[in-house]
A and B are shown apart, each in its own frame.
Chain A
Amino acid sequence: QVQLQQSGAELAKPGSSVKISCKASGYTFTSYDISWIKQTTGQGLEYIGYINTGSGGTYYNEKFKGKATLTVDKSSSTAFMQLSSLTPEDTAVYYCARPILGRYFDFWGPGTMVTVSS
């Protein structure tokens, strides 16, 4: 069965970076992109972007350019998202999800809570 396993919660200081992971199983990893979505109480769900797991090509929502960097390791079927120059506004749950034809998301990871606090 399709599963997306995400890394554990992170507590980070303002100005630092974190890198969270999303390990896929149950399907051919390189046949689907991996998307990332941010969820906060105030802003709701926000689309960050996606990575083509075969080519490594990326797309970023304008709002997250310079904030998020998406990478992939095909050998371990794992996608990564690095968040840099963290501020308290980056405190959120971050989900990876599998997009279908780039349109909607049929499987989601359980989320990774990132807390930015001094």
Chain B
Amino acid sequence: DIVLTQSPALAVSLGQRATISCRASESVRSSMHWYQQKSGQQPKLLIYGASNLASGVPARFSGSGSGTDFTFTIDPVEADDIATYYCQQSRNDRTFGGGTKLELK
């Protein structure tokens, strides 16, 4: 299985930039996708194919990277963005990162 590694938590201030990383144990090319999960809710697709914004998602969200290293950015962070963010790869089967909990500083 391809293992995806994310930092467990990130503290940011409102209005600032939040950058979340996801590292794959082997290359997934651009087959990386990002989800937001708020407490008690199902995950919501934000980014697909490493850098493509899903329908209806604000342009404050963006993604980049290829191969093994990927970055998800929120700029600027709003209060409604407090959630856990997961990366997911589709290069080899489907696996998810452990999630990064975005917290307010």
Question: Are chains A and B native binding partners rather than an unrelated pairing?
Answer: yes
Q: Mark B46-90, 1 if CB is under 8 A from A, else 0.
A: 001100001100000000000000000000000000000010101
Interface 0/1 of B31-50, CB less than 8 Å to A: 10101000001111100110
Inter-chain contact count A-B, CB under 8 Å?
Answer: 50
Is B93 within 8 A of A47, CB to CB?
A: yes
User: Cβ of B43 and Cβ of A106 under 8 Å apart?
Assistant: no
For residue A108, CB closer than 8 A to chain B, the reply is yes
Q: Are A102 and B90 in contact (CB under 8 A)?
A: yes
Residue A27 interfacial (CB < 8 Å): no
Number of interface residues of A (CB under 8 A): 18
Q: Which of A47, A106, A110 contacts B94 (CB 8 A)?
A: A47
User: CB distance A47 to B96 under 8 Å?
Assistant: yes
B93:A108 contact, CB within 8 angstroms: no
**Assembled-state Cα–Cα distance A45/B33 (Å):** 14
Task: Give the docked Cα–Cα distance between A95 and B37 (Å).
Answer: 13
Which A residues, 39 to 60, have Cβ-Cβ distances below 8 Å to chain B? 44-47
Q: How far is the CA of A59 from the CA of B29 in the complex (A)?
A: 23
| Assembly CA distance A100 to B47 (angstroms) | 13
Q: Chain B's nearest CB lies how many Å from the CB of A6?
A: 9
Report which of B41, B43, B93, B99 forms a contact with A105, defined as CB distance below 8 A. Answer: B43
CB of B98 to closest CB in A, whole Å: 5
By a beta-carbon cutoff of 8 Å, the part of chain B in contact with chain A is 31, 33, 35, 41-45, 48-49, 54-55, 86, 88, 90, 93-99
The 8 closest A-B pairs by CB, nearest first: A45-B96, A47-B94, A103-B90, A104-B33, A108-B42, A104-B48, A44-B98, A106-B45
Q: A44-B97, A45-B88, A108-B42 are in contact. List 19 more A-B contacts (CB 8 A).
A: A44-B86, A44-B96, A45-B86, A46-B96, A47-B93, A47-B94, A61-B93, A95-B42, A100-B48, A103-B33, A104-B33, A104-B45, A104-B49, A104-B88, A105-B35, A106-B55, A109-B42, A110-B42, A111-B42
A–B Cβ pairs within 8 angstroms, 18 of them: A44-B98, A44-B99, A46-B96, A47-B95, A61-B94, A95-B43, A102-B90, A103-B31, A103-B48, A103-B49, A104-B48, A104-B49, A104-B88, A104-B90, A105-B43, A105-B88, A108-B42, A108-B44
